[in-house]
């Protein structure tokens, strides 16, 4: 709670992206299989969303399953899909209670039918909530997202729906999965890995990157607040100089 009091509520990031890394290593450290780590990751998700909601973050996007994750052993992939279904069913009452609006980004139709069904249910039942937006990136890859955006824009150019000269950043944004979300201000990755792994490449153009050695199942509210405090201590220049940032507007 003391850390929370150090946060300037007027400088809170609007959109926080999270790479939930370290489940397998956490489980291995306890002599268990990787699935055990995934099953024990939900507390970290709850704590992160609750902490973000308390300080006024608009959206949190969780990297739950990448397009590359399909290459993992079938047993683990199947277990992850079953865990997704059971977790969403279990957490739906909490989403209602806390007015959490749930949505997804990624190639959702590649997920098993059961997963698609529960996702549609959760998204439909929470779509009108305004507590905080919780976005799950599922079967998601940023390069694939950008390629799909280019294809869709190209089709519109061919069909004379868009003129070539009209294509700008706003047009591209409107064709991404995240068209209804602000750009990412802060990206958090756990487990000590220092890369962004094909995650929200366009949306993180000016994001602050925060890496922690904490393994995801151990990540708690205090760790989220550590990231926010670090974020607020950085100077966000967006290509400008420090002097330009500090000069008051007339």
Q: For 20-77, what is each residue's pLDDT tens digit?
A: 999 999 999 999 998 899 999 999 999 999 999 999 999 999 999 999 999 999 999 9
Given a cut of 70, is residue 241 above it in pLDDT? Answer: no
Residue ranges for the binding site for Mg(2+)?
21, 208
Is 21 designated active site? yes
Does 149 fall in a domain?
A: no
Beta carbons of 62 and 135 less than 8 angstroms apart: yes
Does 129 fall in a domain?
A: yes
Residue ranges for the binding site?
21-26, 34, 38, 66-68, 70, 72, 189, 195-197, 208
Does 200 fall in a domain?
A: yes
Does 201 fall in a domain?
A: yes
pTM of the model as a whole: 0.92
Beta carbons of 210 and 187 less than 8 angstroms apart: yes
d(CA 47, CA 57): 13
Give the other-Cβ count within 10 Å of 239's Cβ.
6
Range of the structural domain that residue 121 is part of: 10-140+183-232
| Active-site residue, selected from the candidate residues 33, 40, 47, 69 | 69
Beta carbons of 85 and 65 less than 8 angstroms apart: no
Does 34 fall in a domain?
A: yes
Residue ranges for the binding site for substrate?
22-26, 34, 38, 66-68, 70, 72, 189, 195-197
What percent of the chain clears pLDDT 70, i.e. is strictly above it?
A: 94
* Tens of pLDDT, residues 121-163: 999 999 999 999 999 999 999 999 999 999 999 999 999 999 9
Does 244 fall in a domain?
A: no
Does 189 fall in a domain?
A: yes
Map residue 188 onto helix, strand or coil.
strand
Does 227 fall in a domain?
A: yes
Number of structural domains found in the chain: 1
Determine the pLDDT at residue 204.
98
Is 69 designated active site? yes
Domain containing residue 59: CATH number:
3.40.1180.10
Determine the pLDDT at residue 200.
98
């Amino acid at each position: 709670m003391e850390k929370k009091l150090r946060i300037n509520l007027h400088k809170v990031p609007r959109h926080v992206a999270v790479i939930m890394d370290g489940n397998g290593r956490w489980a291995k450290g306890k002599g268990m299989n990787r699935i055990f780590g995934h099953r024990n990751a939900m507390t970290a998700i709850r704590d992160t969303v609750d902490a973000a909601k308390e300080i006024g973050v608009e959206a949190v996007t969780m990297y739950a399953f990448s397009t590359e994750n399909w290459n993992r052993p079938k047993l683990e992939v199947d277990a992850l899909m079953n865990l997704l279904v059971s977790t969403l069913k279990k957490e739906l009452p909490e989403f209602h209670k806390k007015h959490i609006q749930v949505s997804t980004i990624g190639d959702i139709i590649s997920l098993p039918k059961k997963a698609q069904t529960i996702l549609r249910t959760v998204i439909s039942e929470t779509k009108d909530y305004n507590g905080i937006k919780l976005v799950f990136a599922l079967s998601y890859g940023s390069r694939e997202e950008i390629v799909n955006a280019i294809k869709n824009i190209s089709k519109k150019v061919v069909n004379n729906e868009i003129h070539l000269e009209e294509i700008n950043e706003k047009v591209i944004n409107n064709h991404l999965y995240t068209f209804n979300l602000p750009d990412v201000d802060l990206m958090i990755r756990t487990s000590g890995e220092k890369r962004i792994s094909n995650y929200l490449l366009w949306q993180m153009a000016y994001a602050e990157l925060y890496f922690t050695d904490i393994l995801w199942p151990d990540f708690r509210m205090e760790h989220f607040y550590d990231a926010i405090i670090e974020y607020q201590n950085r100077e966000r220049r967006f290509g400008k100089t420090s002097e330009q940032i500090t000069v008051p507007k007339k």
